[in-house]
């Protein structure tokens, strides 16, 4: 099973696609999302969002806070703004 992930800021779409894992930092600490995760609404702090895409590569997106929702294997991250451009490792 895969996650359907969208990361957007007011200026642009930063990531759209399938992933096996998403990691971000909430106001309560770091969280990792896998397929089948329970529904969630979380406030994000300035952090590096890590998305392991369907090919196994990691996408790193630096954001300056925002919100994340998780429901039915769909992850939506609404970033207040990006701190740096997207990188692949």
pLDDT at residue 70 in the model:
98
Joined together, the tokens standing for residue 52 give 């392991």
User: Which CATH code fits 3-88?
Assistant: 2.60.15.10
pLDDT at residue 89 in the model:
44
pLDDT at residue 84 in the model:
60
Determine the length of the chain. Answer: 89
Distance from C-alpha of 25 to C-alpha of 18, rounded to nearest angstrom? 20
Report residues of the chain scoring pLDDT below 50.
85-89
Question: Which residues are CB-contacts of 82 (< 8 A; sequence separation ≥ 6)?
Answer: 9, 11, 14, 61, 62, 63, 64
pLDDT at residue 12 in the model:
93
């Amino acid at each position: 099973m895969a996650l359907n992930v969208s990361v957007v800021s007011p200026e642009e779409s930063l990531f759209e696609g399938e992933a096996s894992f998403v990691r971000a930092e909430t106001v309560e600490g770091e969280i990792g999302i896998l397929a089948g995760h329970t529904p969630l609404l979380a406030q994000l702090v300035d952090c590096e969002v890590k998305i392991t895409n369907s090919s196994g590569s990691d996408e790193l997106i630096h954001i300056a806070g925002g919100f994340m929702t998780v429901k039915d294997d769909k992850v939506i991250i609404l970033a207040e703004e990006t701190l740096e451009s997207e990188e692949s490792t």
